Amino acid sequence: MNLQPFCFPVVERVVAVDNAKTPLIDIQDQDSFLPNGYKAIVREDTNEVISIVRDSYKIVTNSELIDQLLRQLATCGHSFRIDPSHSFVSNERMRLQITFPELKLRDQESEIALSAFIHNSYDQSEGVRFYFGAIRAICSNGMVFGQVLSKYYSRHTKGFSFENLGEKLTEAREYFPEIQERINRLEVLRVDEQLVENISEKISKRLAQEAIDEQEIGRISQWMLLNRLTNRISHEMEPHVQARYQDKVSKVFAL
């Protein structure tokens, strides 16, 4: 996967208010404006203003993040691949999926490889986020193990490091029996009306309606319904909203 689109240059530029009457703008004439404690995050190669943030905001660049990540992956002791299936980048945000093909769970139909998801933003929509999930081989469904595996979250004002990535992979492997047991359990449990109601209320009413018919309640497994939901999220939703819905599925199905 070509990572160059993720690594565009960003710079900080001073912004100010002109007599408190005009909006925050990129300063051009130092004599005409008064500093106000904000700065602009600008894409340097296109001169696009990405966001206006407080001076305390510390940029963690995509390129810095990816460089740290690749250095740690090279020494983590596991094979990996940069997975484009749930990766995306825009001026404001990025999500990068790393799949570990040798670290596998499985259901009755498919192998399920462990993945790590790394998020970053330049618009304060989120800090650096790192968490574990998986990719189902048979259909490339992405899922998040947010309830079972530990998460790491760092706000930009506090810094970030991948130095313990190897330890996190070891920790994740220790939870594999618990995750596998949960998958096995979901394959046996039948969908009931309460689960459908929870999906409608906590994930999406539209997704619930599209994923199951009333006649199927009590007849199909919860795992089958989970995979219908993750399939729609993975293949029909815009990349920048997939993580939010994957996290909701994780909570409803206790994964």
pLDDT in tens, 133-146: 999 998 899 998 87
Give yes or no: residues 116 and 170 share one domain: yes
Give yes or no: residues 75 and 37 share one domain: no
DSSP strand E in the chain: where?
A: 10-17, 25-26, 34-43, 48-54, 81-89, 93-106, 111-121, 128-136, 141-144, 152-154
Please give the residue that has the higher pLDDT: either 33 or 18.
18
129, part of any domain = yes
157, part of any domain = yes
Tell me what pLDDT residue 57 has: 87
Tell me, what amino acid is at 45? D
Tell me, what amino acid is at 91? N
Whole-Å CA distances, 25 to 13, 28, 200: 10, 9, 43
Tell me what pLDDT residue 155 has: 65
Whole-Å CA distances, 228 to 137, 196, 197: 14, 13, 16
From CA 96, how far away is CA 245, in angstroms rounded?
16
**Structural domain containing residue 9:** 4-54
Give yes or no: residues 193 and 161 share one domain: no
112, part of any domain = yes
Tell me what pLDDT residue 58 has: 87
Compute the average pLDDT of residues 106-110: 93
Q: Which of 153, 174, 195 delimits the end of a domain? A: 174
153, part of any domain = yes
Give yes or no: residues 147 and 215 share one domain: no
Compute the average pLDDT of residues 226-249: 94
Q: Which of 117, 149, 174 delimits the end of a domain? A: 174
179, part of any domain = no
Specify the number of domains making up the chain. 3
Give yes or no: residues 156 and 196 share one domain: no
Please give the residue that has the higher pLDDT: either 22 or 93.
93
CB 33 within 8 A of CB 13: no
Tell me what pLDDT residue 64 has: 92
Give yes or no: residues 190 and 157 share one domain: no
From CA 88, how far away is CA 32, in angstroms rounded?
40
Give yes or no: residues 76 and 103 share one domain: yes
244, part of any domain = yes
219, part of any domain = yes
Give yes or no: residues 188 and 209 share one domain: yes
Give yes or no: residues 102 and 169 share one domain: yes
Tell me what pLDDT residue 119 has: 93
Give yes or no: residues 89 and 148 share one domain: yes
Give yes or no: residues 103 and 130 share one domain: yes
Tell me what pLDDT residue 251 has: 93
